[in-house]
Amino acid sequence: MILICRLEGIRRGGKKMEKRGGLSDLSKLPFHLAYASLPNNNTRDWNSTLQVQWISYSRLLFSTSSHLCQIYHMDVVAGLRDLLRPLILKMTPHDCRILGSTQEMISDNLESQAFCFHADKELLRQPRIVRVGLIQNSIALPTTAHFADQKKAIMQKVKPIIDAAGASGVNVLCLQEAWMMPFAFCTREKRWCEFAEPIDGESTQFLQDLARKYNMVIVNPILERDVNHGEIMWNTAVIIGNHGNIIGIHRKNHIPRVGDFNESTYYMEGNTGHPVFETAYGKIAVNICYGRHHSLNWLAFGLNGAEIVFNPSATVGELSEPMWPIESRNAAIANSYFVGSINRVGTEVFPNPFTSGDGKPQHSDFGHFYGSSHFSAPDASCTPSLSRYRDGLMISDMDLNLCRQIKDKWGFRMTARYELYAAMLSEYLKRDFSPQVIVDPMLHKRP
């Protein structure tokens, strides 16, 4: 059963929920709840904030915070559109564009969620609201299919999702790590190198058209073949501007050497530093997958002025799922920027079994890529995650003014004592470094 009600004043942890719509006890609700929420008694914001959510009760409790009080979701469950029609009729054209077009384009297998992070109103600056999108997806064909067919099928699969993002007014969109291929780096087989592309190759050209069409910045994470440097490979994000131009690239800084993540067989540590790309919609950066375990990597993007850092990833449940909700959220807090975390979905099975020298029996798949893409904000709020199993599009509006507001409030940049750490690191890098350990003189004495 689906109920539609309107909730207001949603607070952190769901502790305070004033309701409208005649529902007094949320615990009596059916497991699934579709609702529309409005900002606190504020009709002024009606145009941009009528939102509809299809959400489980338990997720509702965990998902809300003071800066995340509008939650909306355009699910495509059959019949929901009819139920929502009275609400759609009340919307302005702007809202209809978001809900209507998204509904039209998304298939039953695609989950879509949308959120909004607010900042306080300022006297001297206008809000800087940017609509940001994340796409997670499984591969489209078995890994045994012809490579050209695999690539074409992935593009065909992702295109309607990008169209949905574009039609929903997304300004900046990020795809998952190496989205144009299966994540075959577990196998150590070199034939997968055929998927590598130059920076301005097939997938960039494909996305350039869409960037132009939707006036959208697109982050395109690929396996790069560096044609000007001996055809070597990198794990690269190409930043495509909203005019379809290539703004620049970033190459993955930290290459995993854990479990089946045998990526070092294919590419080296990146050589692009920590670039921040000033786009039409804000300053963005990309911390590719395993880089999220390295707090200095996050820090460097922050020091270069990033307002949104994307973390396009490919990681499996057995290895990293307990870390996933924590690391990027912590980075958003520590560095006063927004983070968009993306992980692919599904289990990719490869033709030949492999091992990774860890004593485990040979196997033919990487494990389950658990999706769970989400956004984190500098004020410690975060969205719920997309599904562990389904393709998904997550959209969030975010007022980038929140970054400076949180910097002003917490002053982490002022209290950071960078000079202490610069000195410590330069000592540590010396060959004759010895750790600063003060031994208890009693430690080795007999009692």
Ligand X SMILES: NC(=O)NCCC(=O)O
**Interaction site with ligand X (CB under 6 A):** 177, 256, 261, 289-290, 313-315, 319-320
Return the closest-CA partner of residue 302 out of 201, 398, 412, 211: 412
Cβ within 8 Å of residue 274, ≥6 positions away: 250, 253, 285, 297, 300, 301, 303, 304
Nearer to ligand X, 266 or 290 (CB): 290
Burial class of residue 257 in the structure, from the number of CB atoms within 10 Å of its CB (0-12 exposed, 13-18 middle, 19+ buried)? exposed
**Minimal distance, residue 145 CB to ligand X, in Å:** 22
Strand partners, 68: 65
Rounded Cα distance between 224 and 205, Å, is 14
Tell me if 336 sits within 8 A of 283, measured CB to CB: no
Q: Between 270 and 378, whose beta carbon lies closer to ligand X?
A: 270
- Please report the beta strands in 166-205, taking only residues with DSSP state E, as ranges in sequence order: 172-174
111, 116, 151, 177: the catalytic one is 177
Complex with ligand X: residue 252 or 283, whichever CB lies closer: 252
What is the rounded distance in angstroms from the CA atom of residue 385 to the CA atom of residue 58? 13
- Told to judge if 289 belongs to the known catalytic residues of this protein, a careful annotator would answer yes
CB of 128 to ligand X, least distance (A): 31
d(CA 36, CA 316): 34
Q: How far is the CB of 319 from ligand X (least distance, A)?
A: 5
CB-nearer residue toward ligand X: 100 or 367: 367
Alpha-carbon torsion (313, 314, 315, 321), positive or negative: positive
252 noted as active-site residue: yes
CB of 206 or CB of 261, closer to ligand X: 261
Dihedral pair phi/psi, residue 98, rounded to 5°: -65, -55
Which of 395, 341, 307 is CA-nearest to residue 131? 395
Helix spans in 275-400 (H): 295-303, 317-320, 324-335
Q: Say which of 111, 174, 197, 252 is annotated catalytic.
A: 252
Q: In the complex, what is the shortest distance from the CB of residue 264 to ligand X, in angstroms, rounded to a whole number?
A: 10
Instruction: Tell me if residue 177 is catalytic.
Output: yes
In the bound complex, what is the minimum distance in angstroms from residue 315's beta carbon to ligand X? 3
Q: 64 or 287: whose CB is closer to ligand X?
A: 287
Catalytically annotated residue among 116, 289, 382, 403: 289
**What order of strands is seen across the sheet that includes strand 374-376?**
277-279, 282-286, 308-313, 338-343, 374-376
Nearest 5°: CA angle at 223, between 383 and 191? 130
Kindly list the catalytic residues. Answer: 177, 252, 289
